[in-house]
Chain A
Amino acid sequence: MSSKETFTQISPSEFFYRNRDLAGFSNPTRSLYTAVREFIENSLDACDQKGILPDVHMSIKAVDAEKPDPKQYILSVRDNGPGIESKQVPLAFGTVLYGSKFGLKQARGMFGLGATMAILYGQITTNKPLIVKSSTDGKIQDEYEMLLDIQKNKPVILKHETKEVSKGGLSLSIRLEGDYAKAGTKIRDYVYQTSLITPYATITFDDPKGDKYRYTKVVRTMPPSPTIIRPHPHGIDVETIRRMLLDTNYQIPAVDDNMISKVRKELGLANKNLSHSEIMDKTQKKWKALTRPVRTVMALMSFLKMDFEKLSKTTIEEIDIGNKKLTYWDFGESQSVSVDMDPESFYYKQLANTVQGETLTSFLTKRFQRVGPTTALKFAEYAKFKPEHRIGTMTNQELVKLTDALQSFDDFMAPDPSCLAPLGESPLEKGMERFFEPDFLAVVQRGASAYSGFPFIIEMGIAYGGKISSRGINVYRFANRIPLLYDEGSDVVLKVVNDTDWSRYKVKGEPPLVIVSHICSTRVPYKTVGKENVADRPEIERELKLALLSLSRKLSSFMSKRGQAEAAIKRKNLYSKYIPLIAQFCTELAGKKKEPNYKKMITEEPIVEEKT
């Protein structure tokens, strides 16, 4: 009964090739839309990071305009961003999982995967290469034509040339199978709404039918860029803790030739051959300047009593801190050797420290945001761990216990919102003003709040009347400056808007009303993989409600002022219409010839009066 399954490792490209549905490339309609999103978001993120006001120009052209959809299109996006260093270009666009966005801060995309996926999709549907033009200095531009080797996850460069240019930036152009007839509305909505939430960018779009969409920037200041920060204890899980423990600082380094030359370099020994004791003397003098891995190697050497020559012929098998034994394999003698370690030795402590990891309190204060020594001590008491408990010695059960305690301890400070990049009230207001030209406009940015250790900020704007059509309340939803176009039915923002009793704010019927909602967070709690609707976390719902409440109140006072003026006009019209009729009827009833003198009743400004 032996099973003979073969397990083969596949490359990330291969994985995504096989699972492209997950990344939004399931059919020509969706794929074209997803490719557009990925390219535009890539450009905007690149500009944001370098503080450049983005100019993004997109075009979609049919390869053969006569053919019916779905058919091949050429999608090109050009930006004025920082560009990509020439030698990085093949890696950046020719491999999957090569991204620069692994830190913890707010960004549109997560890992920069999407653009590569779009390229991959283009290649497998049309077998045409990607054309990248990149200039980092605005003088020299590198132009690549390349394909992706899916099995090897490696770029295949077909052509590479350089030429002189006058502008910097990046331009991507791919050929892909798409269905613009079906995806068109969605793509135009996406471009429109992206421009609304990015008022500091100029975005243009030339569509396959020859229509040109132009959205020029309305503000010239960029929102402050977010900083990368350490995680908050509430947002942590066991796997994350385990990864933090595996940090290189606390690993026993492999003592190979590379390591030995690093040690020699730090000790300033170059190629000199010194005896063991000479080396240890040197070590003591230089200790403070040594890096942690080198210190660990030196501590090992102190017990092994070897020089570099001998050291290179051994490998460490086990460091048993409890029994104070150090075991190594000697290649020369082909045998295991154990040596005792002196627990009083300075080097023993160094080794113990490395093997067992940091203490709990130092782990907390150094590796998490906003945790000070006092909080760390309080936490240790709460979690029933000794403050000096070595993090590296924790069993799996203890790690789970630690994680649970981290998530449930209430006295951590709120998450640091400096990793967030809200748009800001003024740009939002100007963007909405330009897009809607309303009679009334108000915006609000709430203070930072957090759910499950992830900070978030709600920004909201409300616009009424003017050029807004009376088709009821229209809600534009954004998360991290990305428009959420579909699946609005179950979205928390819609829920909050729909739960509002608008008649209380003097908004009735099908009002010409627009609400723009922007959720900024390091992790937006999407309900589905489609990332189109936000789940109703109570903390987020509460902030949305408060934001909407403050805006609705402002709208309400606008409406009542407008209502009073409108009512006065309406009243005057009604009096002018009906009082003459009443006069006519009562004249005949009363048997009089001449009508009563009612003129002053309808010409005078009517008194504002509440209903009786």
Chain B
Amino acid sequence: MKKKPKKKDLEDKHHILTELLKKHGAQIYDDLDKGNFPKFSIPSRSVSNIVYDKKIRQYILGANTAVRSSRNTSQLRSFTQLMWLAFFANRLTRQKKSSTLRDVYYSSQAFEVDFEDQGESDNIIVDLEAVLSSPRESFHVFPEERSSVFGDLTIEYTVPGYQGKKTNLSDHPDGYAIGPSLTSAELIETSAEVVIAIEKGGLFTRFVEEQVDKKFKAIIVDTGGQAPRSTRSLLKRLHDELNLPVVILTDGDVYGEHIAMVIKSGSANAAHLRELTVPDAKWVGVWATDIEKYKLPTIPMTESDIKRCHDLLKDPRYQEGIWKKELEVFLKIKRKAELEAFSKYGLTNITDKYLPQKLEIAKSL
């Protein structure tokens, strides 16, 4: 079954962003022209202003905002830096160039905006995300870490030099790196019926070898541990634009459970962004209850695992369903198991036995 996504989505987004930048620029231009000191209003990212929104099932920023004024000499420098970044983001977007956090830091040195270190420029990038309510990928600042995707999905590039060129993501058995060109590509068509996000590269390769994509009509995504934003953004688009359900497989421990939760509902760090969550994504394993059920070899939980369990139990997102139940079982058995543990029963045990059962269960979650 092939699906046609709505076109023009990405272009619209770009247009909205550049218009927003232009609007801010014009406002500040007017202020200066009238001899007024311009200021920015930035949603406050302090802990007290991060709240959980039950309706959209993610952390969001509250109503508090901080004003950054160019009149205040202790804010003037960071005000200028924010202006520079907006200016730089505008150029990146218009010229369709990509860059990284580190690039941004070095690019700034052509202008006398005085970032003391990369940490400072990283912070300003988050400020701009908050002002624009858009992730940095939208203004072409991409993470360094790459995760991968594989499966029958045809995309059409929009990056300069490749515009109009199409690729099918099942053409290369190592999968395709989820980088700027893939992230900004149009999603054209797919025969897949499900997206499987898996925590580990080794298992990703196994899944490709075992033709999980064909057997289960799946697009396989390697999150490489905690999923980078571009990966989360791709998962969201696969779900929203292609109406594909997303299931997540992680190690059977508290950190694995939280990797799944971040894909589903974001992190407190990114409470200022709403484009990164897949609220309908389903964590299908490895559950604490699976450890007993599948007689998996285990290792004991560490002190910090246990502490993390207790911390998460206080989080509003872990108050119901499997999220709560599995944490409690982890605490009870005080043991954990990795995805590779299934290899005890043969290398293909996980794809032959475990995965089909879990995909079945997912439908009822």
A interface list, Cβ under 8 A from B: 567, 570-571, 574-575, 577-579, 581-592, 596-598, 600-601, 609, 611-612
For the complex, give the distance between the alpha carbons of A582 and B113 in Å: 10
Can you identify 21 A-B contacts, CB atoms within 8 angstroms?
A575-B76, A578-B70, A578-B77, A579-B32, A579-B70, A585-B80, A585-B87, A586-B26, A586-B32, A588-B25, A588-B91, A589-B24, A589-B87, A589-B90, A590-B22, A590-B29, A596-B29, A596-B33, A597-B33, A601-B35, A611-B72
User: How many inter-chain residue pairs (CB < 8 Å) link A and B?
Assistant: 92
Q: Within the complex, what minimum Cβ distance (angstroms) separates A584 from chain B?
A: 8
- Which B residues are CB-close (under 8 A) to A600? 35
Given A579-B70, A589-B21, A598-B33, 16 other A-B contacts at CB below 8 A? A574-B76, A574-B77, A578-B76, A578-B79, A582-B28, A585-B84, A589-B28, A589-B87, A590-B22, A590-B26, A590-B28, A592-B29, A597-B32, A600-B35, A601-B37, A611-B72
Contact B112 A577, beta carbon cutoff 8 Å: yes
Known: A570-B73, A575-B76, A589-B21. A582 touches B86 (CB 8 A): no
Q: Of all chain A residues, which has the CB nearest B30?
A: A596
Asked if A582 and B83 sit within 8 Å, CB to CB, the answer is yes
- What is the CA–CA distance of A582 and B77 in the complex, to the nearest angstrom? 10
Residues of B within 8 Å of A578, CB to CB, are 70, 76-77, 79-80
* Main SS at interface, chain A: helix
- In the complex, which residues of chain B have a beta carbon less than 8 angstroms from the beta carbon of A587? 25, 29
- Closest B residue, CB atoms, query A591: B22
CB distance from B176 to the nearest CB of A (A): 34
Q: Tell me whether B308 is interfacial, beta carbon within 8 Å.
A: no
B80 touches A581 (CB 8 A): yes
The answer on a CB contact under 8 Å between A612 and B69 is yes
Query: Which residues on the A side are within 8 Å of B30 (C-beta)?
Result: 596
- Selected from B67, B71, B111, the residue in CB contact (under 8 A) with A581 is B111
How far is the CB of B110 from the nearest CB of chain A, in Å? 12
Contact flag A582-B24 (CB < 8 Å), given A574-B73, A588-B90: no
* Complex: A612 Cα to B73 Cα, angstroms: 10
Any A CB within 8 A of the CB of B74: yes
Interface string of B87-100 (1 = CB under 8 A from A): 10011000000000
Name the residue on B nearest A601 (C-beta): B35
Answer whether residue B143 sits at the interface, using C-beta atoms and an 8 A cutoff.
no
Given the interface contacts A589-B25, A592-B29, A600-B35, does A582 sit within 8 Å of B73 by beta carbon? no
CB of B225 closer than 8 Å to a CB of A: no
What 4 A-B pairs are tightest by C-beta distance, nearest first? Answer: A589-B25, A585-B87, A596-B33, A596-B32
A585 contacts which chain B residues (CB < 8 A)?
Answer: 25, 80, 83-84, 86-87
A590 near B25: Cβ-Cβ < 8 Å? yes
Q: Which residue of B lies closest to A612 (CB)?
A: B72
B72 touches A582 (CB 8 A): no
Q: Which of A570, A591, A600 has the most chain B CB atoms closer than 10 A to its own CB?
A: A591
Cα-based distance from A612 to B39 in the complex (angstroms): 13
Contact A582 B71 (CB under 8 A): no
Of chain A, the residue at the smallest CB distance from B33 is: A596
A382 to chain B minimum Cβ distance, whole angstroms, is: 64
Q: How far is the CB of A592 from chain B (nearest CB, A)?
A: 6
Distance in angstroms between the alpha carbons of A587 and B32 in the assembled complex: 10
State the CA gap A184–B32 with chains docked (Å).
64
Within 8 A of A (CB), among B111-156: 111-113
The complex places the Cα of A592 from the Cα of B32 at a distance, in Å, of 13
Identity of the chain B residue whose Cβ is nearest the Cβ of A604 in the assembled complex? B35
CA–CA, A596 and B84, complex, Å: 16
How far does the alpha carbon of A571 sit from the alpha carbon of B72 in the complex, in Å? 9
Report Cα–Cα, A579/B79, bound state, in Å.
10
* A556 → chain B closest CB, angstroms: 22
Q: Provide the residues of chain B in CB contact with A590, threshold 8 Å.
A: 22, 25-26, 28-29
